[in-house]
Amino acid sequence: MRMPISLSVAVIALAAGQAVAQEVNVYSSRHYNTDQALYDEFTASTGIKVNLIEAKGDALIERMTAEGESSPADVFITVDGSRLARAVEAGLFQPTDSDALTAAVPENLRHPDGLWYGFSTRVRGIVYAKDKVDPSDLASYEDLTDEKWNGRICIRSSSNVYNQSLVASMIASEGIEAAESWSEGIVANMARQPQGGDTDQIKAVAAGECDVAVANHYYLARLIRSDKAEDNAVADSVGMIFPNQDGRGSHANVSGAGVAAHAPNRDAAVKFVEYLATPSAQAYFADGNNEWPVVADVKLTPVLEEWGDIKTDSVAVIAFGEHNADALKVMDRAGWQ
């Protein structure tokens, strides 16, 4: 029987003592400059070439679903537990049974069946105007519903997945009624109809359009680290509160990754996902987007070091996807646009 050309070339290469080139196809919704350095280091240490496809998370989920069994994706990287849940529901991951990953990644930050693993955390905090707000008045998310904040809160739309996951985490830890009451209180205290992204909420506080806002911590960290004077001015005028430090902790979400269901280069994919949990790779995650690494004793950016050790909610990230539909209903009933 005649040997296929691709296989015969591989056999000839091995016979000649040459290594067969390996590669891993990574679909990622992350888009930070330091991620490329991360990929380069992986290639340098393993010899495995990284082929990168970047797009928004939902777009990549749609693409992989459409590609089906013929998808070239080996690894899928995205942000937020609800998006990871959508990928699981679409059957886009396969289990990765890895002692290294199980040991490195905390249980609440990974899928119980090894379908995906969280590699960095982002905390949803409260930004406040330094000249108008005493941070001691805002110890918890629940404090935002007090009538003293009427007409003073900026926050993104209910269509934003970060807000959906925040409400879903409340459902998981406090129940639907508490989450609905909180959502109603937020709507009652809004300074304006939801608009823009997290950075827009922070800039609105700095501009005096509202006195407090809900935003992921790294958006403020970017402004602090920016080389633009106008960004620094915004950052200087506001502060960040990490809520519920005396209780369940601040809501934390993840950037996560898993081996694709139909990965053509599965062994390389497993090596790549395991690499993401190494201290070296974790340092890139921390520096690239000012996110907290999931592995202990990894060097933090100066901004994170200044904010200190933050207590985060221990609710399993998979709960954000499990309660996403209920979160959307709760927000809709509250009139959160």
Compute the distance between CA of residue 317 and CA of residue 255 in angstroms, rounded to an integer.
11
Say which range, 27-36, 175-184, 317-326, has the weakest mean pLDDT: 27-36
| 36 Cβ contact partners less than 8 Å away, ≥ 6 residues apart | none
| 134 Cβ contact partners less than 8 Å away, ≥ 6 residues apart | none
Compute the distance between CA of residue 290 and CA of residue 132 in angstroms, rounded to an integer.
27
What pLDDT score does 17 carry? Answer: 39
What pLDDT score does 34 carry? Answer: 77
Q: Higher model confidence: residue 212 or residue 14? A: 212
Decide yes or no: CATH 3.40.190.10 for domain 124-251+317-333: yes
| 7 Cβ contact partners less than 8 Å away, ≥ 6 residues apart | none
pLDDT at 118 > cutoff 70: yes
Give me the half-sphere count of Cα atoms (radius 13 Å) on the Cβ side of residue 19: 7
Beta strands in 1-129 (DSSP E): 22-28, 48-54, 75-79, 117-129
Relative to beta strand 22-28, strand 153-154 is unpaired
Instruction: Please provide the average confidence, as pLDDT, over all residues in the chain.
Output: 92
pLDDT interval class at 33 (50, 70, 90): confident
Domain coordinates in residue numbering, the chain: 5-121+252-306, 124-251+317-333
pLDDT interval class at 21 (50, 70, 90): low
- CA 151, 155, 160, 161 torsion-angle sign: negative
| 117 Cβ contact partners less than 8 Å away, ≥ 6 residues apart | 96, 101, 105, 109, 110, 111, 256, 257, 258, 273, 276, 277
- 5-121+252-306 and 124-251+317-333 in the same fold: yes
What is the DSSP-derived secondary structure letter of residue 147?
A: G
Q: Cβ(317)–Cβ(138) under 8 Å?
A: no
pLDDT at 20 > cutoff 50: no
What percentage of the chain carries pLDDT values higher than 90?
86
Stretch 130-148: mean pLDDT: 97
Give the containing element (helix H, strand E) for 212: strand 212-216
Stretch 205-221: mean pLDDT: 97
Decide yes or no: CATH 3.40.50.300 for domain 5-121+252-306: no
Distance (Å) of CA 266 to CA 42, 96, 259, 270, 303? 16, 10, 7, 6, 37
Q: Cβ(292)–Cβ(57) under 8 Å?
A: no
Q: Does the reported pTM lie above 0.85?
A: yes
What pLDDT score does 31 carry? Answer: 79
pLDDT at 244 > cutoff 60: yes
Q: Between vectors from CA 97 to CA 93 and to CA 98, what angle results, nearest 5°? A: 115
Return the amino acid letter for 7.
L
Selection from 5-19, 238-252, 272-286 with the highest mean pLDDT: 238-252
**b/e for 262-301, b at 16 or more Cβ within 10 A?**
bbebeebbbbbbbbbbbeebbbbbbbbbbbbbbbeebebb
Compute the distance between CA of residue 189 and CA of residue 34 in angstroms, rounded to an integer.
39
